[in-house]
Amino acid sequence: MKVLIIGGVAGGASAAARLRRLDEDAEIILFEKDEHISFANCGLPYYVGKVIKERDNLLVQTPEGMRERFNIDVRVQCEVKRIIRDKKSVEVYSHATGKTYCETYDKLILSPGAVPFKPNIPGLDHPRVFTLRNIPDVDAIKEFVDQLHPEKVVVVGAGFIGLEMAENLRRRDVEVTIVELADRILPSLDFEMAAIVHQHILEKNVNVIRNNGVHAFHHKDERTVVELTDGQRLYADMVILGIGVRPEVTLAKEAGLDLGVTGGIAADEFLRTSDPDIYAVGDAIEVKDFVSGNPALIPLAGPANKQGRIVANNICGREDRYVSTQGTAILKVFDMAVAVTGLNESFLKKYGIPYMKSISHSSSHAFYYPGSSGLSVKTLFNPEDGKLLGAQVVGSGSVDKTIDAFSIAIRAGMTVFDLEKLELSYAPPFSNAKTPVNIAGYVASNILRGDCNIYYWDDVAKLDPDKSVLVDVRTPFEHKMEGTIEGAINIPIDHLRARFDEIPKDKEIYVFCAIGLRAYVACRILVQKGFKVKNLSGGYKTYSAAYDTLHNIIL
C-alpha cells in the first residue's frame, strides 16, 4: 500500500506516525511545502517574547527524525500543485530543485491546514505587516523585533493569536494597541466574561480599540499609519494581523472534491472526502459541532491530532469514526487564563437552541492557603432538563482543570444537577471541598429548581424604578469603597431581617452582593417572607467589569 500525505504539523504528521505503527511495510510519503513538517504552532508567540528561548524547541519532529524512527519518506520544500484523481497521482513541484514530477498513490491524505485571513485592505502587502502561522512567519517577526526594536505595534484582531502576540510584545517593552472589529476582545467569550479579561489587559498597559476596523495602511519611511474605519489614525513601527484563519482548500477544490457549507473540505465520519481514496484532516475540514450538530470550522490542534490517528486506523482496516468537535480551548493572557468549551450565547442564539445561563465566582483553592485567586465561571444549560451546552472560565489558577471537567461533562451529556454530585479532588493547596465545578452546578440547579430567580448585568439598565428596588446587601464599607449600582439602597445581609420595613412588598426586589452568594441568602430570606426577589447573576463583580468595559471606563 502506498499512502501520500499532503501537509504535516498536527494532522499529517500524526497520521504518518500512526500509519507506520500499524503497517511496517506501507510506502508512506509526506509532502511539506515548507522546511518544517511538525512544529508547535501554539508556541510561536512565546518565541517572539523570549519565553521559549531556543528556536529548535519549537520543532516537534524533524524530517530526519521521521525518517529514522518511522521510515517515512519526508519531502520538504515539495509543494503538491495538483491532484489527478483519475490517475490516482499528484503533481509535485520541488522548490529545492525547481523540477516538477508526479507521484502515484493508493490512498491520499489531505492535511493542508489553514491560512491567515487577509482582507482586501490597501497597504496590506508590505514588509511591516506580518501574519503568524508558521516558522518562517515567526522568524520574520522575531528578526524585525530583535534588530529594529519597534516602539509601537498595532495588533489587528483580539482573538487568541492577537492577545498572545500582545502579551509577548509587551514582554519586549513594546507599546501595543489592539484593534478589534467586534464589541469585545476574545469574541469566542460572552461579553461579561470578555470584560474581565479586558480590564486585566488594560492593567498591563495594552491599549484596546473595539467596534472599529482597519480602513487602510499608509506606509512612509520607517513608520506605518493605520487608518481606522472611523477615521482615527494610529502610528506603528510594525503591524501584526491576527484576524483569524480560513481553511486551505485550493487543492481539494481544483480536484473537484466536495466542500461543505462552511467552505471547509467535506468529510464523512470516517474522514473520507467525496473521493473514497482521499481522506482529509485538520484545520482544512468541516466538522460537526458537538453541541448543536451543525457544520462548523474549528481549527484546533487536539482535534487535528485525533483525526490523523483515525484516518490511519481506517486506511489500515481498523474502522474508526470522528464524531464531532467540541471546541475546548484555553489561552494565557498575562497573569490570567481564559478557557471555553461548547457553545457561547451567540452560537446558541444563531442555532435557535433554548438556553439559560448562570455566573459563579469561586476561589481557585482554599482561601486560607496562600496563593488563592479568583475564578469566574459561566455555565450555559438547557432550561428544561439542565443539560450542559457550554462553559467559559476566566481566572488566575485552576482554569485548565475546571474547563476540562466541564468538557468531559458536556461530552458525557451531563446536566447541571450532575455537576452538584461530581466527586472531585480536594486539598487546600489545590481546590475547595466544594470545587468551582460543584459551585457552578449548585448555582445553576438553584435557578432550575426555582430556589432563586435571577437577573443579569445588562438587565439593570432596563429596570423601572417605579416598579422595582435595587438592594445592595454588601457591607457599608464595600458599598462605599468599591462602588455600587446607581440608585441601590444598602442593607447588609446580616441586618436584613431587622430592616424588612425598608423594603416595599409591592415592588420587585433586585438584590446583589459581590459575587452572588450573600444575595442568594437574601433571596431565600425575602422569598419566604412574601417578597418578589431576583438575584444578580455573578454579582457586582460581573456587573462592574461589564459596565466599565461597555462604557470604556478605565480604573
Active site residues: 42
Question: Which grid coordinates belong to 119?
Answer: 482582507
Q: What is the spatial distance between Cα 540 and Cα 403, in angstroms, rounded to a whole number?
A: 23
* Helices and strands in the chain, H and E counts: 15, 32
Q: Which amino acid is at 323?
A: V
Nearest CA to 95 out of 140, 31, 8, 11 is that of 31
8 Å CB contact between 20 and 311: no
Reduced 3-state DSSP string for 185-252: CCCCCCHHHHHHHHHHHHHCCCEEECCCCEEEEEEECCEEEEEECCCCEEEECEEEECCCEEECCHHH
Q: What is the spatial distance between Cα 540 and Cα 84, in angstroms, rounded to a whole number?
A: 62
Q: What is the spatial distance between Cα 3 and Cα 277, in angstroms, rounded to a whole number?
A: 10
- What are the start-end ranges of the E strands in 8-47? 27-32, 38-39
Q: What is the spatial distance between Cα 297 and Cα 201, in angstroms, rounded to a whole number?
A: 28
Nearest CA to 334 out of 181, 211, 178 is that of 178
Helix 9-22 to helix 63-70 angle (10° resolution) is 20
Q: What is the spatial distance between Cα 178 and Cα 155, in angstroms, rounded to a whole number?
A: 5
DSSP string for 246-280: EE--HHHHHTT--B-TTSSBP--TT-B-SSTTEEE
The secondary element (H helix, E strand) that includes residue 358 is strand 356-363
8 Å CB contact between 376 and 540: no
Phi and psi at 522, nearest 5°, equal -60, -40
- For CA atoms 266, 271, 273, 279, the dihedral sign is positive
Tally the residues of the chain: 555
Phi and psi at 311, nearest 5°, equal -60, -45
Question: Which grid coordinates belong to 295?
Answer: 457544520
